[in-house]
Structures are given as C-alpha cells and as structure tokens.
Amino acid sequence: MAELVVAFDTCGPVIGVAAASETAVATRSERIRRGAEGRLIPWAQEVCAELGGGLDDVVGVVAARGPGAFTGLRVGLSAAIGLAIALDVPVWGGDSLTTRRSTAPDGRVLIMLDARKQRVYACAFDGDQMVVPPADVAPEIAVAWMKAPFTATGEGAVVYRQVVEAQGGTVVEEADAPATEALARAGWSAIRAGDGRRPESLEPLYLRPADAKPSRRGRLTRETKRRS
Amino acid sequence: MRVLGIETSCDETAASVVGPAGVLSDVVHSQAVHAEFGGVVPELAARAHVEKIGVVVRAALERAGGQRPDAVAATAGPGLIGAVLVGFSAAKALAAGWGVPFIAVNHLEGHLLSPLLDDPAPCFPFLSLVVSGGHTALYAAHELGRYELLGETVDDAAGEAFDKVARMLDLGYPGGPLVDRLAATGNPDEVAFPRPRPGRLDFSFSGLKTAVRAHLLSAQPASDADVCASFQAAVVDCLCRRVSEAAALTGLRRVALAGGVAANGLLRQRIHTLGLEAFVPPRSRCTDNGAMIAHAGRLHLLAGRSSDLDCGVRPAWQVGA
C-alpha cells in the first residue's frame, strides 16, 4: 500500500483537504463560511480512499499554519495535531502564502490573501526568490513592493483587483483546489525529507495580534470613579 | 471501556482518560493570559488552546498508561466557539485516527454528571445546581439524557458576578477564589445587599453587582473583607433558597453541586444545611476538566449513543436538547 500524506488547509474562505502519494494527489475543497470542523475528517477518509488507502497508510500530516482566518486556521491545525498523535506520525506546517508560489506563473509574483479591515496578508517573489516575507499590510503597501509588470494571485488580489491593476499588475485567479494540492505536495516532500516534527510543536502563524486591551486597574472608589 | 475526554470551552485546556474504575488521568492547563484583562478574552483563549492541546492530550494518554482509548469524547458546546473548536477538531481527528467512536458532549451535562464520578455518588433523580462563570442553572436530573431546567440566571452568571466584584476591588482574576478568601475574614451582615428573586426558580445577579458598585461609591464603604463577605452571603442565599424551593416543588431530596462556583467555601457549607442529601465534588472537579467530559461521553456510549464524524460544534447547546 502506498504511503500517504494528508493535508488540511482551512486558512481562507476555501477550505481543502488533500492526500498525496509519491505519484498522485486527491483533494476535496469547498467555499464555506463556517462548519469546517464537520468536513475535514470525512474528507480525509475520502481522499485517502481515492488514492487506494486509508488513514492507516498516512505517514505524515500537514497543515496550513496561516496566515488567514484565526478560527479557521486553528480548526485545521487542531485536526492535524489530533490525527498525527493518533497515528503516531510527524506533522509539517506550511504557510498559506508561500505555498501558493508553486501554483503561480513565473516572474514577479505578489501573493495576497484578504485579511479584512482593509488589509492583506502578502508576500512577494521574484522568480523563486522570496523578496518580501509574509506580512500584514494595506493592499497599497503590498503592491508598492512590486515593479510592473507582475502577477498577483490569491483571494486578496481578487478583492483588491483595482489596486493591483493601478500598479501595473495582472490578477490571476486561482482555482480552489491547487492551494491545498500544493500544500500536500510540499508536505509530502518535507515529510519524506525528514522535516516532520512532533505534533505538539505545530504552531499557528497569525501575523496579527489578538484584539484585546488590558483592563484598567485600581479599586473602585469615589475618587477613582471621578478620575475615570 | 476507556474514554479520552477533551474540554476546551473556555479558559482551561483539559484532557482526561476515564475507565470503569474511574479517572485514570486528569490533565488541566489553566490559562493565565487572561489575568491582565480582568476576564476571559475569547481570541486569546483559542490561541492558548491550540498551543497546548497536543501537550495536554499526550500527557493525559501517557499518565493513563499509554493505551489507545476505546472512544474519544469532546465538548461540542455551549462555550466560546473558537475555543470549543480546538478541542472538538482535535478529538474527532484522534477518534478517526484510532478508528474508535466519537461522542460530542454538552459541557453543562458534563458538569451535571460529574458528581457521579465520586463516591458516594447521587442516584437519579437528583437536583443539580450548575453554577460557574458562564452558567447558573438548576436542573432536575431524572436520568441520563433527561434533564428538566427548573431555573437559570436571567442576566449574569454567579461566577461572573464574583469576577466583576473582584475587579471593582482590584483583587485580581479569577475573582471567585479571591473573594472567597477575603470573605472569610469579613462580616457577612455588614452590608445588606439585595437578594434578587426573579420569576420561576430563576436567578439574577446583575442587580446585586450594581448594588456592590453603588456601595463602593458611597461616602463610607465597608472594608473590602466585609464587602466580599456580604456579597458572597447574598449570592449563596440566592442559590440555596432556589435549591430549597426546587426540592419542595419537585419532591427531590438529593442535590449535587457542579461548576466553578461549587468550589466556594460558603456554598459548600450551606448546601449541607438545607435538609437534603447533598453531594459536593472535590474542588479540582468543580472547574472545567476533561474527566467530566470523558465520563459523560462514556455514559452515553454505554447507552449506545455516539456522534458522526461530520457533526459540528453547538455553541448554544441546551442541556437535554
């Protein structure tokens, strides 16, 4: 039976699960607002079956660590951690931006994911060389990294198409599945190369702090109330 | 049958293995990150859960002897959805990887059934007072899966009121144990705080919290210890009065405490003075823990119930629904 790697990608509005063997990849994906936790495990079983195996044949588990939707990325990471512990196999985490390089055209490429609040998670490549690492920036800042002509891809490029085109860029819309496929292929290579790690070490990549402010300290009295 | 239980509905990352002989392991990581915020910050809670879930699950398995469990149970709600999703997603993946059943557990039912882990344990039917930072409710527990809601808070949970009073007094977080400790040195009759009595067998703590605030802003507030003692006495009076009324209404003579506020010293004393057979869990099992989830899941599995792997979380899940 072929050895398989299972990949979970839940960072964006399109979630996906893929199984990769040395020669093939099977995927499931769906554009979804909520409910990823109900899809991942049945899909994992299905994609393994599609490649002629089952979860018992999995030799490594892969997850997109982010950046992306906070809640979404944690669903995929948690599933990956749980599956890897149960199967006693290593994990490997890819990031949701650089993984997309392999599915984009050659040349200068800006990868943008919609980060809401008028911002994008973005990174830039010149050929295979990463020239700007993943960052949480305004779309105008991201496109300013690029020299025209360039290609922009990812959900953020679609959302901010006008900003990209104003800078001389061309938006290339990606199909839903390739990002998960690319993650699974990258994970397959990493796991086979011995780069897998213990499941507990799999950490999210947020790029953005939680929105929380420390509470005001001090005992409530007439005086402190007057000062507030 | 050994069941791994996972609980991540609020600010404890917890996992436990429970078998026929009882609790085989019980690992709880309490998040300290919320202290400076004076309350649980949902996004920070979810972040901390995903950092710890693997470590906590691994520790629970190893302390239980390292054997593969026969099933996995996890809290599916109610709770903070981002937090619940971490344990729930990991649990389903563990169950699928091992090829064992998965059971989605109601967090409140986990609390409600947790006294059954103790010796002596209450027999059905019994009254259950589930009182914590997120919930305050009184149930008649008739049998496994059949619970009648007799009353619940119409505003703040009792534990939330403890936290807010602690915040007014700048005692720290979580407030329950701190208020409890300070109250032990105070006079519970010093300040006549109100004992709200909404309809049915419901509870209300919002007005009590406002009364504490008004008192602290008065010209001559009592000492912090007296405020804590008086406030705590009011809360415990409200809780115990409803238990007595529920016993009279239903004829049930057994009552079990559950939830974080069940660790409160005064409540643990007073519940024994109501003329009922009272079951009070050890303090370690009052706060959120994996053992109660494993136990509830185990009971449901023994009764022939499990969940499909395509099920989702239920953030507002009512007990018995």
Taking only residues 54 to 73 of chain B, the set having a beta carbon closer than 8 angstroms to any beta carbon of chain A reads 54-55, 57-58, 61
Q: What is the pLDDT of residues B9-41, one digit of tens each?
A: 999 999 999 999 999 999 999 998 888 887 889
Report CB contact under 8 Å: A220, B46: no
The predicted pLDDT at position A226 comes to 58
Q: At A218, is the pLDDT very low, low, confident or very high (cuts 50, 70, 90)?
A: confident
Q: Percent of chain A at pLDDT above 70?
A: 95
Does the beta-carbon distance from B85 to A77 stay under 8 Å?
no
| Subunit contact A37:B92, Cβ cutoff 8 A | yes
Q: Helix (H, G, I), strand (E, B), or coil: what is residue B248?
A: helix
CB B121, CB B139: distance < 8 Å: no
Backbone angles phi, psi at A68, to 5 degrees: 165, -160
pLDDT at A33: 84
B58/A213 CB distance under 8 A: no
Residue with tokens 């070490």: A201
The model scores a pTM over 0.90: yes
E strands, chain B, are 3-7, 12-19, 22-30, 71-77, 102-106, 126-131, 136-143, 146-152, 254-258, 277-279
For residues A4-10, give the mean pLDDT.
97
**B159-178 residues touching A, CB cutoff 8 A:** 167-170
Q: Measured between CB atoms, which of B46, B87, B170 is closest to A71?
A: B46
Report the share of chain B in percent with pLDDT over 90: 91
Q: Smallest Cβ distance to B97: which of A83, A204, A219?
A: A83
Q: What mean pLDDT value characterizes chain B?
A: 95
For residue A190, give how far its alpha carbon lies from the nearest alpha carbon of chain B (Å). Answer: 21
* The two three-digit tokens of residue A150, written as one number: 């360039």
Asked if the Cβ–Cβ distance from B89 to A82 is below 8 Å, we say yes
Residues of A in contact with B314 (CB under 8 A): none
* Close Cβ partners of B268 (under 8 Å, ≥ 6 residues apart): B257, B262, B280
Burial of A31 (C-beta count, 10 Å sphere; 0-12/13-18/19+): exposed
- What single-letter DSSP state applies at residue B203? B
Q: pLDDT tens across B112-153, in order?
A: 999 999 999 999 999 999 999 889 999 999 999 999 999 999
pLDDT classification of A216: cutoffs 50, 70, 90:
low
Q: How many Å apart are CA A176 and CA A103, to the nearest integer? A: 11
> pLDDT tens across B242-297, in order?
999 999 999 999 999 999 999 999 999 999 999 999 999 999 899 999 999 999 99
Task: Give the per-residue pLDDT at A177.
Answer: 62
Q: What is the pLDDT of residues A129-180, one digit of tens each?
A: 999 999 999 999 999 999 999 999 999 999 999 999 999 999 998 776 678 9
Three-state secondary-structure class, residue B161: helix
B210 pLDDT band, cuts 50/70/90, is very high
Q: Is the dihedral of CA A74, A77, A81, A86 positive or negative?
A: positive
DSSP B14-39: EEEEEETTEEEEEEEEE--TTGGGTS
Classify each residue of B191-203 as buried b or exposed e, where b means 16 or more C-beta atoms within 10 Å of its C-beta: bebeebeeeebbb
Q: d(Cα B164, Cα B319) in Å, to the nearest integer?
A: 26
Which stretches of B75-174 are DSSP H helices? 81-98, 107-113, 158-168
Under the banding of pLDDT at 50, 70 and 90, the label for residue B320 is confident
- Which of residues B320 and B125 earns the better pLDDT score? B125
B213 contacts A210? CB cut-off 8 A = no
The model's confidence at residue A11, banded by pLDDT at 50, 70 and 90, is: very high
Check pLDDT > 80 for residue A225: no
Determine the residue of chain B that is closest to A60 in CA distance.
B97
Whether chain A has a CB inside 8 Å of the CB on B91: the answer is yes
Which chain B residue's Cα is nearest to A221? B217
DSSP per-residue codes, chain A: ---EEEEEE-SSSEEEEEEE-SS-EEEEEEE-SS-HHHHHHHHHHHHHHHTT--GGGEEEEEEE--SS-HHHHHHHHHHHHHHHHHHT--EEEE-TTGGGGGGSPSSEEEEEEE-STT-EEEEEEETTEEEEEEEEE-HHHHHHTPPSSEEEESHHHHHTHHHHHHTTEEEEPPPTTHHHHHHHHHHHHHHHTT--B-GGG-----SS-----PPPPS---HHHHHH-
Contacts of B89 in chain A (CB under 8 A): 37, 40, 74-76, 78-79, 82
Reported ipTM: the value is 0.94
Query: Domain A105-171 carries which CATH code?
Result: 3.30.420.40
Domain edges within chain A: 4-96+177-201, 105-171
> In chain A, which residues have their Cβ closer than 8 Å to the Cβ of B312?
35, 37-38
Beta-carbon contacts of B218 under 8 Å, excluding residues fewer than 6 positions away, are A222
Name the residue among B49, B98, B312 with its Cβ closest to that of A37: B312
Q: Is the pLDDT of residue A196 over 80?
A: yes
CB atoms B82 and A70 under 8 Å: yes
CA distance to partner chain B, nearest, from residue A192 (Å):
20
Q: Measure the CA–CA gap between A172 and A183, rounded to whole angstroms.
A: 19
Q: For position B32, what pLDDT does the model report?
A: 86
Question: B214 at the A interface (CB within 8 A)?
Answer: no
- A18: Cα separation from own chain's centroid: 13
pLDDT confidence bin for A120, thresholds 50/70/90: very high
The β-bridge partners of A119 are none
Q: Pick from A55, A203, A214: which is nearest to B97 by CB?
A: A55
A105-171 and A4-96+177-201 share a CATH fold: yes
Residues from chain A that touch B94, judged by Cβ atoms under 8 A, are: 82-83, 85-86
The pLDDT score that the predictor gives to residue A227 is: 57
What is the maximum alpha-carbon separation in chain A? 75
Is residue B298 scored above 90 in pLDDT? yes
Domains and CATH numbers, chain B: 3-112+286-302 (3.30.420.40), 124-280 (3.30.420.40)
Provide the shortest C-alpha distance from residue B146 to chain A (in Å): 26
* CATH classification for the domain delimited by A4-96+177-201, as one of 3.30.420.40, 3.40.1050.10, 3.10.180.10, 3.10.150.10: 3.30.420.40
Q: Which long-range contacts (CB under 8 A, 24 or more apart) does A210-213 make?
A: A210/B41, A210/B43, A210/B44, A210/B47, A211/B43, A212/B37, A212/B41, A212/B43, A212/B44, A213/B37
- Give the separation between CA B182 and CA A185, rounded to whole angstroms: 59
B204-214 mean pLDDT: 95
Instruction: Taking the CA atoms of B50, B52, B56 and B58 in sequence, report the sign of the dihedral they define.
Output: positive
- Does residue B94 sit in helix, strand or coil? helix
Rounded Cα–Cα distance for residues B197 and B195 (Å):
6
Q: Render the burial of A34-69: b for 16+ CB within 10 Å, e for the rest.
A: eebbbbbbbbbbebbeebebebebbbbbbbbbbbbb
Task: Please tell me which residue of chain B has the smallest CA distance to A40.
Answer: B310
In chain A, what residues touch B54 (CB-CB under 8 Å)? 81, 85, 198-202
Find the closest chain B residue to A224 by CA distance. Answer: B217
Note the Cα A86 to chain centre separation in Å. Answer: 23
Predicted pLDDT at A129? 95
Q: Which residues of B touch A218 (CB under 8 A)?
A: 170
